[in-house]
Amino acid sequence: MKRIFRGIVWISIVFSAVCFLSYLFSVLAHAGTFFSYALPITACTVIIAPPLTACFWKRKLPAGVFSFLRGIYIFGVLFFTLTFSVFCIGILRFETADFDGSGEDVAVLIYGCRVKGEVPGEMLTERLDAALSILEENPLSVALVSGGLDEGEIYTEGQVMSWYLQKKGIDASRVLVDETASSTKGNIRGFLALIEAHGLQDYKFVSISSAFHMPRIAFLCSRYGLQSALVGADTQKLTSLFPAVVREYMAYVKMLMLNDYR
């Protein structure tokens, strides 16, 4: 039994290390501030350093203290593995979500993501393409796009999203742009401002983002009183999806630690 438990612990350690290293590499691949690097570096250190230095600390610390710290560490990696697995399962229901708004006034809320110059990145393109099918099926629908200027970007995400939709045949009059948002909360605040400014309160709203992003959007929409259907866009590249899911999980951790819901 001890051997089985020890094996589960080591699997959890390796899995946790792979998760956070992939998260760190994905952050390092883009220009960013020190704060954007601090969380993944800290997470990697907390996961990787204890097993590598366990022999040293076992000699230096009293046996009771060492056992207590080891217990906390084991609990932490097991807790992460379990909750992260449940989180991934929860995401799956948004990958198959559909929306039927035919015959209704529909406002499609598209959440921003990284852009490359004048074109959207891969994940943002997937979100926009998912939104296009709804916009094309509902000729009277409008698109609300939200995203500000992130590190290394020349044009705001909102502006790039608007250009993309127009190139795909959506008239400019149907695209309302918010260029202030720098977070998911900022997206929602931007949407609410556009809804108020353009008198869209009676429209039916549908939020479009990557599937892994949708649980947090659902939670924050409820906090802001925004009633919206939810449709998740699939992320095709596994090398992009895995670190993005880890990053999304850590966004929940940061939100809970800072009590930052609004």
Q: Can you spell out the DSSP letters for 34-77?
A: HHHHHHHHHHHHHHHHHHHHHHHHHHHS-HHHHHHHHHHHHHHH
Q: Which residue has the tokens 């549908």?
A: 206
C-beta of residue 19 within 8 angstroms of C-beta of residue 40: no
Instruction: Say which CATH number the domain at 179 has.
Output: 3.40.50.620
CA distance 125 to 159: 13
Residue 244 covered by a domain: no
When divided into structural domains, the chain yields a total of 2
pTM over 0.95: no
Pair (119, 91) in one structural domain: no
Q: Is 262 helix (H, G, I), strand (E, B) or coil?
A: coil
Pair (58, 128) in one structural domain: no
pLDDT band for position 127 (cuts 50, 70, 90): very high
Residue 13 covered by a domain: yes
Which tens digit of pLDDT belongs to each residue from 166-225? 999 999 999 999 999 988 999 999 999 999 999 999 999 999 999 889 889 998 999 999
Say which amino acid occupies 141: S
**Contacts of residue 80, Cβ cutoff 8 Å, sequence gap at least 6:** 12, 16, 19
Pair (141, 31) in one structural domain: no
Pair (91, 116) in one structural domain: no
Q: What is the pLDDT of residue 131?
A: 93
Q: In what order do the strands lie in the sheet with 204-210?
A: 175-178, 142-146, 106-111, 204-210, 228-233
Q: What is the pLDDT of residue 92?
A: 77
Residue 241 covered by a domain: no
Consecutive H or E run containing 252: helix 238-257
Q: What is the pLDDT of residue 95?
A: 64
Which tens digit of pLDDT belongs to each residue from 75-124? 999 999 999 998 888 887 776 556 766 667 899 999 999 898 899 999 99
Pair (82, 110) in one structural domain: no
Residue 87 covered by a domain: yes
Pair (127, 168) in one structural domain: yes
User: Residues for the chain: how many in total?
Assistant: 262
C-beta of residue 151 within 8 angstroms of C-beta of residue 33: yes
Q: Is 87 helix (H, G, I), strand (E, B) or coil?
A: helix
Pair (133, 156) in one structural domain: yes
Last residue of a domain, one of 95, 127, 158: 95
pLDDT band for position 261 (cuts 50, 70, 90): low
pLDDT band for position 233 (cuts 50, 70, 90): confident
Residue 174 covered by a domain: yes
Pair (148, 230) in one structural domain: yes
Which tens digit of pLDDT belongs to each residue from 130-153? 999 899 888 889 999 999 987 777
Residue 260 covered by a domain: no
Please say if the pLDDT value at position 128 is more than 70: yes
Pair (172, 89) in one structural domain: no
- Measured between its terminal Cα atoms, the distance across the chain in Å is 46
Which tens digit of pLDDT belongs to each residue from 22-75? 888 877 776 555 566 777 888 889 899 999 999 888 888 899 999 999 999 999
Containing structural domain, residue 174: 106-236
Residue 232 covered by a domain: yes
3-state secondary structure 131-186: HHHHHHHCCCCEEEEECCCCCCCCCCHHHHHHHHHHHCCCCHHHEEEECCCCCHHH
Pair (79, 184) in one structural domain: no
Q: Comparing C-alpha atoms, which of 116, 119, 107, 118 is closest to residue 145?
A: 107
Pair (114, 226) in one structural domain: yes
**Contacts of residue 55, Cβ cutoff 8 Å, sequence gap at least 6:** none
Pair (76, 6) in one structural domain: yes
The secondary structure of residue 188, as a DSSP letter, is: H
